[in-house]
Amino acid sequence: MKKETLIENIENLTPKEKEILTKLFKNREDIGLAELINEIKESWKDSGEKEAYIRLLNRLHNFFGKIMEDVNKSWKQSLYELEVASDLIKASKYSASAFHSQQAVEMGLKAFYIYCNADVMHEHNLFKMAKTMGLPDSIIQKSSKLNPIYTRTRYFDARADGKIPAEQFDEGQADEYYNYAEEILRWLSEKLNLSMD
């Protein structure tokens, strides 16, 4: 979490609380939630300003509660999209399955973005999303392979050969895209500490 994000988004921070946050970040650009909370708990012992630290801690708990609510909503939708993609493979609806695999990753990446930035990303390009967040190359590559599906499954004129979206994918491709989506979501679930169930 970036210091500026916290200071801009936590309501009614006092100047003293802003000063505490600035001190806690030291020379770091960002800090994890657990680390920040631990540092607040350690710092108040030596500060003589316990009340200000406790108020800040309470504000952070409220702020992160709202963030995690949004993360969980996006994550739940992501898992739903993955389940639908699986069901559609079983029903031989390969184009629709590919679309839902892409959507599963988009919602998963958005959950991760909210978690890291306390903000919603209004982007649909999976490659851009993964690159912007500085994700590992393997995730960026898989996101890049899933990215064109959004257009290919929706627009009949997205291909030169004239095939409609429903005719563009076979079972092998749908399985491949589903597997990419599942691998990306597994990686994200570890980082978000959220279940795949």
Going residue by residue through the chain, which has 197 residues, state the pLDDT in tens, using 9 for 90 and above.
677 777 787 878 888 888 888 888 876 777 776 677 788 877 777 677 788 888 888 888 888 888 899 999 999 999 999 999 999 999 999 999 999 999 999 999 999 999 888 788 899 999 999 999 999 999 999 999 999 999 888 887 777 787 888 888 999 999 999 999 999 999 999 999 899 98
Q: If you search the block for the tokens 């540092």, which residue do you land on? A: 39
* Phi (first) and psi of residue 53, to 5 degrees: -65, -40
- Measure the CA–CA gap between 143 and 107, rounded to whole angstroms: 12
> Tell me, what's the pLDDT at 184?
98
Question: What CATH number belongs to 3-192?
Answer: 1.20.120.330
pTM, 2 dp? 0.80
Q: Any idea where the domains of the chain sit in the sequence?
A: 3-192
8-state DSSP, 168:
S
Structural tokens at position 74: 């996006």
Structural tokens at position 17: 């609380």
User: CA-CA distances (angstroms) from residue 114 to 72, 121, 182?
Assistant: 10, 7, 20
Secondary structure (3-state) at 2: strand
Query: Largest Cα–Cα distance of the chain, in whole Å?
Result: 72
- Measure the CA–CA gap between 19 and 30, rounded to whole angstroms: 16
- Measure the CA–CA gap between 188 and 182, rounded to whole angstroms: 10
> Tell me, what's the pLDDT at 185?
98
Say how many residues make up the chain: 197
Q: E strands of 49-178, at which residues?
A: none
> Tell me, what's the pLDDT at 154?
85
- Measure the CA–CA gap between 148 and 177, rounded to whole angstroms: 11
